[in-house]
Structure 1
Amino acid sequence: MLIWTLIRQHQRLHCVYSKYETNRMSRWNVPADATDALQLQFGALMREGEERGEIRFPDLSGEQQLVLAGDYSGEHSDAKYQVVSLLLCGMSDCMGNWDADRTAIRDQHLADGRRHAFKKLHDASRQRALVPFLSATSDINGILLSVAIDKDIEKTDLGYQFPFETPSTELVHAKLIRIATFGALLVSGLGAVGQDVMWLTDDDAIVANDEQTTHAVNVIDSMLTRMCPFGLGEVCVGIAGKFDDNRLAEDLCAIPDLAGGAISETLGLLDAATIPRESGRSSVVQRESAFKAKIIYTWIATLQGKLSTAVCLVRPHESGGIQMSFANPTVDLGDSDEGSEPEPVSDKWRASSTSW
């Protein structure tokens, strides 16, 4: 049984959370001179969750270069939420054991170079590679943040304006701002002075052509400057599919792709009225999700490795602003004596599972 439990919720208020700025034990950094209202609110939510043991953060302070890989789900018309999923970790971690493991998985299951992708998990080779890939990814020292944004506010730019013109549509521009904002918040919260940042994005409308890519780089750079007043080192923005690196960049972006796809599908099975707006309450997913979503959702909910996860819901508030909430995906496995595990829903998944 799949369950969503609301951790905490706040309206977007212009408040100063000064008490958190003195909490030196927290791994989440709120710059002492931060004045951005959303940054203060987001940081307060993160630290509250950390203090209660509901969210844990990696220590990335010793990394010279951070990697932020992003992918975006929920673009289809039936989706209720657009999900921005972001993986933040250290470059040294990506180039170590994880790179060796994911290369071995490729050699065994995806030797022809095909990509990991949630939408393409009907493919038997990708199905065989899925669980080994997720298992290897669990040991990345990083955080996987998925921000689910209600489609009723998909045009919101979170109130941020820029001094340069946009070549994109209103929807694409708003999406870019949200991606840049939450990515910059992650870097600000867990980054350190002078660290370099490699920002990777999958092929998407926000980088559809050279003009749009230049605009995306400008917006990302502006948001990093705004959210990271402590000063970063060199910042590079790249499109994963354009790297000649044996699919390394694409495999990094595949992690948020898989997570975002599962979260988007699972949220789509919930009636909006059943998603709580008060902390400490749960919402049970009553309808059946696809088997691929169940596997990935269960992985997110039961992670035991170094990788940590967080899921943030962004919804309209009755005051006209937005409401941010953090939720814990959980799985009720039931009593082991009640019966055996359910069979995969198709012959392909049944065959694929024998390789796990």
Structure 2
Amino acid sequence: MLSEGPPAQVDKLANALVFKHPSIPLLGNAEEYPLLTRVIDGVLALKKDRRELLLPNLHEFDTIGIFSDYGGEAPDSKYSTYSFLFSAYDLREDTLQRLEATRAANNGFGEMCFKKLDDGNRQRALPDWLAAPDRFEVPLSGLLFNLVVDKAVHSVVFKNDHLDRAVIAACLRDEGFGEWKPDVAEKLIRIVHCVAYWCAVLARDGQKLLWMTDDDAIVAQPRINGFRKILAAALRKYATIRYADIAFATPFKNAKRKGSLNDLLSYPDLAAGSFDSYFTTMQKFGTPVVKSTTVEVLNWLCEQGLGLKRLNILLEPNAIGGADATFFSMVRAIEQPPNTVRIGIRL
């Protein structure tokens, strides 16, 4: 865990921020749910049984902020990546102020994102940017969940059949959720059901949800109303939680607002892009061929933060036509940083 506070206080705070008794396994009659959330629920249950599952305790906060971004759209990408930040929205201001200070100290660059990491200002800012959510003063309690899906997995809804995407689109149309292209329908179900599953695990009655997703075909007009209906149906499917409010947004276009919630969206953006680059080059060349900034992000993703927990799941096809999920953690390419503190979490 990365922090710079006194060890005893760090230990106390870290334990207070961990969700000790999550409702996992969550799914009862598993056949009612997509293959995706069934396999996620199964591997999380195994991790919980081994007392290795670190999740954030978000119940003390008024609002859960959800920020998501996706990778793997390039024609040569071999994997699709989906990254979600579930965070204590009430604590956002301290992290956002640290990020804005980091930006100002590096010539006031624009958005921090994976595609712009060749820029020198962003490269210099990256270490402090990654460290910002885990500062001891006011850490950002949350979970950065990263799902990497081998594109050889055609569908994660029914049984990993290449015809499933057309069936999904037809089901959405017949149930009144609008017209969706098969590939977009598959992506929509993956994203919405991940969000609904984790909200069922992390949220409580009376909380508000704010979800900011990257601009994507799943939220393009004129299907936005269908998207909202699908989200509401999925949230009801996984839990009986009564949310006080559910708000939805895409990244702000107004330049004056760039130093705001868009900055929290940078974490799933960096994760999705880095994992796509790592796994795609690994499959192509037998070894990852990535830039030093990508290595820096990957190293950060293999650590657990004081406030921000990281959980990475890889989904690959199995021999019987389904899909298997496994946890993965990257092997550090550099030495452990000197400010790393090892903490005993009591689960």
Pairwise same-fold verdict (TM > 0.5): yes
The alpha-carbon distance between structure 1 residues 127 and 219, as it changes in their structure 2 partners (threshold 3 A), is same
Kept in 2: contact 1:28–1:46 (CA 8 A): no
User: Are 2:231 and 1:217 aligned?
Assistant: no
Structure 1 residues 135-190: Cα deviation after superposition (integer angstroms, max 9, x where no partner)? 10333211101111111235554576441243332111211110101111111111
Aligned mate of 2:279, from 253, 267, 270: 267
Secondary structure of the corresponding residue to residue 330 of structure 2: strand
The match for 2:142 is 142
The match for 1:27 is 22
The match for 1:238 is 249
Letter aligned with residue 69 of structure 2 = D
The match for 2:9 is none
The alpha-carbon distance between structure 1 residues 305 and 147, as it changes in their structure 2 partners (threshold 3 A), is same
The match for 1:350 is none
The match for 1:256 is 268
Kept in 2: contact 1:155–1:170 (CA 8 A): no
Structure 1 residues 221-250: Cα deviation after superposition (integer angstroms, max 9, x where no partner)? 221121122332311111122576443221
Letter aligned with residue 123 of structure 1 = D
Letter aligned with residue 291 of structure 2 = A
Letter aligned with residue 248 of structure 2 = V
Structure 1 residues 29-53: Cα deviation after superposition (integer angstroms, max 9, x where no partner)? 5558665445454334213213434
Greater Cα offset, 299-308 or 256-265:
299-308
Structure 1 residues 314-333: Cα deviation after superposition (integer angstroms, max 9, x where no partner)? 22222222222222223264
Letter aligned with residue 241 of structure 1 = F
Distance 1:107 1:143 in 2: 27
User: Are 2:75 and 1:77 aligned?
Assistant: yes
User: Are 2:339 and 1:321 aligned?
Assistant: no
Aligned mate of 2:196, from 166, 174, 184: 184
The residue correspondences of 1:99-248 to structure 2 (distance < 5 A) are: 99-109=96-106, 111=108, 114-138=110-134, 139-158=139-158, 161-162=171-172, 163-208=175-220, 210-242=221-253, 245-248=257-260
The Cα shift of 1:125 comes to: 1.9
User: Are 2:301 and 1:300 aligned?
Assistant: yes
Kept in 1: contact 2:314–2:325 (CA 8 A): yes
Kept in 2: contact 1:314–1:323 (CA 8 A): yes
The alpha-carbon distance between structure 1 residues 330 and 53, as it changes in their structure 2 partners (threshold 3 A), is farther
Letter aligned with residue 271 of structure 1 = Q
Distance 1:211 1:334 in 2: 49
The Cα shift of 1:134 comes to: 0.5
Secondary structure of the corresponding residue to residue 186 of structure 1: helix
The residue correspondences of 1:4-43 to structure 2 (distance < 5 A) are: 25-31=20-26, 36-37=32-33, 38=35, 39=37, 41-43=39-41
Greater Cα offset, 218-227 or 27-36:
27-36
The alpha-carbon distance between structure 1 residues 216 and 242, as it changes in their structure 2 partners (threshold 3 A), is farther
The Cα shift of 1:100 comes to: 1.6
Letter aligned with residue 117 of structure 1 = C
Runs of 5+ unmatched residues, structure 2: 1-18, 160-167, 338-347
Letter aligned with residue 320 of structure 1 = G
Distance 1:334 1:239 in 2: 37
Letter aligned with residue 21 of structure 2 = S
The Cα shift of 1:90 comes to: 1.1
Kept in 2: contact 1:31–1:229 (CA 8 A): no
Distance 1:167 1:40 in 2: 26
The alpha-carbon distance between structure 1 residues 29 and 64, as it changes in their structure 2 partners (threshold 3 A), is farther
Letter aligned with residue 74 of structure 2 = H
Distance 1:293 1:317 in 2: 29
The alpha-carbon distance between structure 1 residues 104 and 334, as it changes in their structure 2 partners (threshold 3 A), is closer
Aligned mate of 1:67, from 65, 68, 79: 65
The alpha-carbon distance between structure 1 residues 64 and 33, as it changes in their structure 2 partners (threshold 3 A), is farther
The Cα shift of 1:133 comes to: 0.8
Kept in 1: contact 2:295–2:333 (CA 8 A): no
The Cα shift of 1:56 comes to: 0.7
Structure 1 residues 200-219: Cα deviation after superposition (integer angstroms, max 9, x where no partner)? 101122223x3132222222
The alpha-carbon distance between structure 1 residues 286 and 197, as it changes in their structure 2 partners (threshold 3 A), is same
